[in-house]
Amino acid sequence: MSSELALSITQPVQLTDAMLISTDIPENDYAAWSAGTTYSLGARVILTSTHAVYESLQASNLGKDPTANPTWWIEVSPTNRWKAFDYSNSTQTVTAGGATPKISYTIRPGASISSVAVLNVANATSLLLKLTDPVYGVVHSRTVDFTPLPLQANWWSWFFGQKVTPTQYVATDVPAYPNADLLVQLSGNSSLAVGVIMFGQQKNFGLGVSYGARVGIQDYSVKQTNEFGDTELLVRAFAKRANFSMLVEKGETDALQNFLAEVRAVPCLWIGSTDYESTTLFGFYKNFDVLISYPQHSECDLEIEGLT
């Protein structure tokens, strides 16, 4: 089934302050917390040390550090600058606007990376990925077009049908330059946003995902009936799901089991096939089974659940 030779798994590198060289997204969602300010119930502040937004749970809130007083403060979300790196697909970094909206991050991973993913993108027109080495200069540059495309591949749909805008891009062929800086830059329209920016080293296992793979979503929307008998649909987030089966060579059976044990409850990027975007998920596996069924091969079944 797969146009690659194996299931691709990328464990993201956690972005740190030292890695973030520059960005055009300010960190000014709210005023920074001050020990000398008295906060009312519901007041919000940020801490740049934790890159998080906090909300006051009580009135007359004075001198209570948000990181050490859970009865006085609750963490609401990451700051806008860091939402793209919190591993939640539903929280989005949103541009401040302007004549030419952009979201730009220059990152120094400090190690070789082979995979970059930009997920849950909204209102984008293009994406620029650029890798610049201090010795060799620009070693990789790619511009991705986010022009809306028709749902079906025929002339009528192209001219008259509904068109959808791509919402993600995954690069799995980034060259290895451990000292290079990575530029991720989205351009687009007002309310340009991105849910996840992740990078890391991909690992490949197996001989390709077998036909019979199952993909779908888990919808968290709910149906409610009010006191007058009217039914309303409350639209909420959804998570992608997939079930993959594949053959694994004898020599990598133990390595696969050990790696999956290592990344349990860790959000990763899973690519079952480059032919089907629906087999690309950012999430974690719920279950896996390895059946040692042949002298030189084993069978592996994976159940993967995406993050909302």
pLDDT in tens, 208-254: 888 888 999 888 888 888 777 788 888 887 888 999 999 999 988 99
Final residue of a domain: which of 53, 78, 103? 78
Same domain for 96 and 113, yes or no, is: yes
Euclidean distance between CA atoms 158 and 98, whole angstroms: 31
Phi-psi region of 18 (alpha: psi -120 to 50; beta: other; left: phi over 0): alpha
pLDDT value at residue 183: 97
Return the number of other C-beta atoms located less than 10 Å from residue 28's C-beta: 13
Per-residue pLDDT tens for 33-85? 999 999 999 999 999 999 999 999 999 999 999 999 999 999 999 999 999 99
Final residue of a domain: which of 153, 173, 200? 200
* Closest to 307 (Cα-Cα) out of 264, 261, 267: 267
140: CATH: 2.60.120
pTM for the predicted model, two decimal places: 0.86
Residue length of the chain: 308
Asked whether 283 and 31 are in contact (CB, 8 A), the reply is no
The answer to whether residue 287 scores a pLDDT higher than 50 is: yes
pLDDT band at 2 (very low <50, low <70, confident <90, very high): very low
The answer to whether residue 3 scores a pLDDT higher than 80 is: no
Same domain for 113 and 192, yes or no, is: yes
Same domain for 94 and 146, yes or no, is: yes
Per-residue pLDDT tens for 16-32? 999 999 999 999 999 99
Percent of the chain with pLDDT over 90: 60
| Average pLDDT estimate for 250-265 | 90
Structural domain boundaries, residue 45: 38-78
Same domain for 95 and 186, yes or no, is: yes
Per-residue pLDDT tens for 89-142? 788 999 866 677 899 999 999 999 999 999 999 999 999 999 999 999 999 999
Same domain for 91 and 127, yes or no, is: yes
Same domain for 129 and 228, yes or no, is: no
